[in-house]
Structure 1
């Protein structure tokens, strides 16, 4: 079985600090550059699962890299280079305290809220009579707070502006970028026979300039349906065939885990881990149209350390 990268502890040249997120480890170099390492950790219900998924980090990093490059004409992004299959190096930005979630279809969290009787999400009114996975007339933006720990919370644009999380003019720019990015992602997905269902974008500032930061259009931040058979499944009330992390959440739910106190994470067998890895690789190949080239994982941690160190030394 291929090795999974679940932990990093590097000491790069001029490194100031490191932040270990749920999936990514972010190294601050000289308060100027960020080295973002996409590990093979996987999280669901805001809990990091006990075992990693081989090649997941490479998949996430290389999909994000492709879409950052493909959308740089819409909004500047933080990426400088990708010196290793699991790593992106980019400009350090001050992140906004909100995540811009945009939904083209009523599914996932939005559907669960709707099913339970809510007819407004983040201040956006929803019509009566919708069914699970139905397309909205127009995509809706449902922002969340960006929690350092625990769950992100739904928040309306009015609350964001009133609380001073983002000023009105800048928030309107974030909404405009969000819609344009989603439109581009939707078009690119359609060309590959996929539907970009929903996604989230994160933004930050550097020298008073707004940048798109973090990942974009990956299976950790986005949900994809297969376009073929969508209408038929919707009409029959059947689940959609999808490529996203939702299947991991469903597996956890079926095995009695939703991240609530006292619940035990079910055993992650090698068979299950390999199936998740295959799903991530399938999405990579489907959404990019490229064959996935598995990197050498025999000494993955050392490989990353050498590549990043050489890159940073070349920047001096």
Structure 2
């Protein structure tokens, strides 16, 4: 079987019985179950959720996006072999670790297949919480231009590129377009301050002011846990994105949880420790793919210049990347996943058929 057949590129066409249209993002598709199937699974599987909680099947693909485009390879390889399974395995590992260490639960209820989660519906906090331990990427570019304030936090002079920051920096931004918040433009992904959040905590969908403290604590404790684990693997946890939401348990208690994904090569920067100590940055995250693309095309400005978005879209559409490029990316994802989890990432031989089989025979969700 060719590599292309082992890639799950299209994940929104599975015959899962749903109660709402399938929601597809860049990587994941969400199938909201109907009320009767949700209630049946909650009763049969013993999930710690309200009896009438809406459930969904979340299917991760092997698609890869960078510079706001989806990329493909030669031979019909419309994704990166093993990428989806690696991302799910890493997130599962960290979410389980958070739970076992008493931090907080996640939205994941069960993992029927390496590419599939059963999740409960959460009410998201409208913040993308970025935690930074090193100055690099966009933050470094702004700093190098003279900027010293980030999300209301003053940074000292004299820092060098890729240097460790004096303390963990939380630089939140808006999740989606939020209207009517003083001092916060109504555009997606705009930087905000701790003061903005405290003064308008309800607009960001926090239940109360003390939960603003709790989200920061969960973010810092989660970051520290991941950083300490990666340090044992001689890997450097550079920065990451956290997302939070509210769910209700079977006793009717509402609680703040981790959601989306966490500590993955898609949502984080992870550097190789030995190389960093030698003064070099070797990325064990999606950043390595971005760097590959910048070197692969003769005019990297197309990828960096938002004014050239039309050209960039055409570049991604019309250029099949060499198989070795995608396999290099595959190795980045699967290698770091195996290091973190201590378990092999095996490629599904026919992922779509496997998913349909398990959801039909074990969960009764295929029409």
Q: TM-score, normalised by structure 2?
A: 0.78
Please report how far the alpha carbon of residue 107 of structure 1 lies from its aligned counterpart in structure 2 after TM superposition. Answer: 1.3
Corresponding residue for residue 303 of structure 1: 354
Matches within 5 A, 1:220-235: 220-233=266-279
Please report how far the alpha carbon of residue 45 of structure 1 lies from its aligned counterpart in structure 2 after TM superposition. Answer: 2.5
Does structure 1 residue 181 correspond to structure 2 residue 222? yes
Does structure 1 residue 22 correspond to structure 2 residue 29? no
Corresponding residue for residue 310 of structure 2: 262
Q: 1:58 aligns with which of 85, 88, 109?
A: 85
Q: TM-score, normalised by structure 1?
A: 0.89
Cα deviation, 1:281-313, whole Å, max 9, x if unaligned, reads 1211222233332222xx321211222334433
What are structure 2's unaligned runs of at least 5 residues? 35-52, 73-77, 178-186, 249-253
Does structure 1 residue 278 correspond to structure 2 residue 307? no
Any idea what SS the aligned residue of 1:172 has? helix
Provide the rounded CA distance (Å) in 2 between the counterparts of 1:28 and 1:108: 36
Please report how far the alpha carbon of residue 277 of structure 1 lies from its aligned counterpart in structure 2 after TM superposition. Answer: 1.1
Provide the rounded CA distance (Å) in 2 between the counterparts of 1:250 and 1:269: 15
How many residue pairs match? The answer is 306
Does structure 1 residue 137 correspond to structure 2 residue 178? no
Matches within 5 A, 1:1-316: 1-2=2-3, 3=5, 4-8=7-11, 9-30=13-34, 32-50=54-72, 51-72=78-99, 73-147=102-176, 152-163=189-200, 164-167=203-206, 168-207=209-248, 208-233=254-279, 239-254=280-295, 255=297, 256=300, 257-258=303-304, 260=306, 261-264=309-312, 265=315, 267=319, 268-296=321-349, 299-313=350-364
Assess, with a 3 A threshold, how the Cα gap between structure 1 residues 311 and 230 changes in structure 2: closer, same or farther: same
What are structure 1's unaligned runs of at least 5 residues? 234-238
Cα deviation, 1:257-278, whole Å, max 9, x if unaligned, reads 2363233335312221111112
Check whether the contact 2:124–2:205 (CA below 8 A) recurs between aligned residues.
no
With 84-93 and 14-23 compared, the bigger mean Cα shift is at 14-23
Check whether the contact 1:100–1:143 (CA below 8 A) recurs between aligned residues.
yes
- How well do the aligned residues superpose, as a CA RMSD in angstroms? 2.1
With 178-187 and 66-75 compared, the bigger mean Cα shift is at 66-75
Q: Which has the higher strand share?
A: 1
Assess, with a 3 A threshold, how the Cα gap between structure 1 residues 161 and 203 changes in structure 2: closer, same or farther: same
Provide the rounded CA distance (Å) in 1 between the counterparts of 2:327 and 2:228: 30
Please report how far the alpha carbon of residue 74 of structure 1 lies from its aligned counterpart in structure 2 after TM superposition. Answer: 0.8
Provide the rounded CA distance (Å) in 1 between the counterparts of 2:310 and 2:120: 41
- Report which of the two structures shows the higher radius of gyration computed on alpha carbons: 2
Cα deviation, 1:28-77, whole Å, max 9, x if unaligned, reads 12361121111011112333224311111111111111111111121111
